[in-house]
Structure 1
Amino acid sequence: MSAALAVTPELREELLRLALDVAREAAELIRRERAAGVEVAATKTSLTDVVTRVDHDSERLIRGRLLGARPGDGFLGEEGGRDESDSGVRWVVDPIDGTVNFLYGLPQYAVSIAAEVDGVAQVGVVLNVPTGVTYWAVLGGGAHRDGTPLRVREPAPLSQRLVITGFNYEPPIRALQAQAIARLLPVVRDIRRPGSAALDLCHVAEGAADGYVEEGLNPWDHAAGGLVAREAGARTALMTGIGGLTLMVCAPEHGFEEFLATVTEVGLVAADHPG
């Protein structure tokens, strides 16, 4: 990947327009195929970690449209799509974030598309497929939901913060997470588990939650949603979780340190994590 690419406002705008257009097209495909019926095509890390034919169809469409419009860009997709970048831009894509929700018909699953340069997200788009609600952000340009600027929720005591979480698919790690979440529950307002990491991060961005913590995330889970959250006034950190996997912690900047200290104290962060 080129390290000398100049990231101009014009380039960011081009990447954003393309990501929005492709996310909308992928969402239409997903809706059509959902209406025709959905079956599990395979499992990945465990029997609960499912993938459907529609996941593959969506990624194939997204990859083809992005690289067709911008030959030479790189691509990293959840369902195995990999292309090295010659242009300096890499697309990081989850074709359906929240596949289990998609399988069951719960209206919380999204197309997530981010454009990175040298590993830094420049543009992020998260489109909730069932509702059509679209979140997007540009580095340094703020975050939006359907055109409305987003800001995180105002400061609140820890006891009045609503926290979103998620659970890894591996049973031993799930058990460790459950024990730690049980210790977190009494000290916050409540806990939710909607089932889509990308949308969870956007919920923090729009002030619908005060914090988010989940272990087992991959770059395609948080690349776009993390940028939306940060551009709305949140802070994110990638750490090592209790199960040894990547842990994402996200909260408004004004309450981040207290939230991080709390999730560390209850045991969600690995004891030997640096710092």
Structure 2
Amino acid sequence: MSVDPAQLRELAADIAREAGALARQRRAAGVSLAATKTNLADIVTEADREVEDLIRTRLAAERPGDGFLGEESGAAVSTTGVTWVVDPIDGTVNYAYGMPTYNVSIAAVQGGTDPGGWQALAAAVHAPALGELFEASRGGGSWLAGEKLAVTTETPAGALLATGFGYDPATHDGDLATVREVMPLARDLRRMGAAALDLAYVAAGRLDGYFERGLKPWDFAAGSLLVQEAGGMVSWLDAASARPMTVAAGPALHARLLSVLSDEK
């Protein structure tokens, strides 16, 4: 089966719209808690599972043989070379609390399920409660509502940065220490609670940069391509550790963030 990144982007965007509509419908009807993940703060809703089922079913019908890596339903091996990496509701806690900053994140990658060996081909990050759909394809740029996106390249007043914290209380001191190290570069800091949306905002120039430890592949697969296709850079520090650091920004700020974070004690 041929691989056209633009066609994969169109498919990802179409499915993300349908999945986002379902997520929003289920939120309006009331969220029920299905289970817990690592602890009580990291929740899974029935909506997560329904939305992922919808995405997986659509992809199986449209591109049989493609692989799948989802937050809720695990992995399926690809026979085509293409794998879809999916977070059905990124920002689940926001979603459960009725905050609009959640999204459906869908990426198509080539090269398997290991982020260290894959090449992202297409991405869609849809925030249904905000009415925004960010799209990208390899070599085709990043887009929002027909407008091509570009990362910020200058931060004369300091960088507007975003980050996130893990749900394990044992990691909070380390996360706060990282913030202290980075703040000399910052104009201010944002903490939105949805990694894919943070990355999409870097791509759109709404944030200058983003850093966070402990992201999973489905958290950054789509968002990282958005940043790269908007002219930015994404790197991972301590990639072999249990909590690697994702760093995303325009080239100049990216280098400055890496310099600070690489020296982090």
Q: How high is the TM-score relative to the length of structure 1?
A: 0.89
Q: Aligned residue for 1:97? A: 90
Contact 2:6 2:140 in 1 (8 A): no
Secondary structure, in 3 states, of the residue corresponding to 2:100?
coil
The 5 Å alignment of 1:1-275 reads: 7=3, 11-118=4-111, 119-157=118-156, 160-240=158-238, 244-265=242-263, 267=264
CA distance in structure 2 between the partners assigned to 1:42 and 1:263 by the alignment: 35
Contact 2:182 2:257 in 1 (8 A): no
CA distance in structure 2 between the partners assigned to 1:255 and 1:48 by the alignment: 32
Percent identity reads: 45
CA distance in structure 2 between the partners assigned to 1:253 and 1:127 by the alignment: 25
Secondary structure, in 3 states, of the residue corresponding to 2:51?
helix
CA 1:160–1:17 in 2, change beyond 3 Å: closer, same or farther? Answer: same
Contact 1:211 1:252 in 2 (8 A): yes
CA 1:255–1:186 in 2, change beyond 3 Å: closer, same or farther? Answer: closer
Task: Show structure 1 runs of 4+ deviating over 6 A.
Answer: none
CA distance in structure 2 between the partners assigned to 1:55 and 1:6 by the alignment: 31
Secondary structure, in 3 states, of the residue corresponding to 1:106?
coil
CA 1:187–1:19 in 2, change beyond 3 Å: closer, same or farther? Answer: closer
Letter of the 1:209 partner, please give it. L
Letter of the 1:259 partner, please give it. L
Residue 6 of structure 1 and its aligned partner are, at CA, apart by 6.0
Residue 18 of structure 1 and its aligned partner are, at CA, apart by 1.2
Letter of the 2:152 partner, please give it. R
Residue 77 of structure 1 and its aligned partner are, at CA, apart by 0.2
CA distance in structure 2 between the partners assigned to 1:93 and 1:231 by the alignment: 19
Deviates further, 94-103 or 245-254: 245-254
1:133-164 deviation per Cα after TM superposition (whole angstroms, max 9, x unaligned): 0101111111101111001113124x611110
Gaps of 5+ in 2: 112-117
1:81-125 deviation per Cα after TM superposition (whole angstroms, max 9, x unaligned): 321101111000000000000001111100000001112110010
Contact 1:59 1:79 in 2 (8 A): yes
CA distance in structure 2 between the partners assigned to 1:187 and 1:115 by the alignment: 33
Gaps of 5+ in 1: none
Count, aligned residues: 259
CA distance in structure 2 between the partners assigned to 1:156 and 1:35 by the alignment: 39
Letter of the 2:97 partner, please give it. Y
Residue 20 of structure 1 and its aligned partner are, at CA, apart by 1.1
Deviates further, 41-50 or 104-113: 41-50
Q: How high is the TM-score relative to the length of structure 2?
A: 0.93
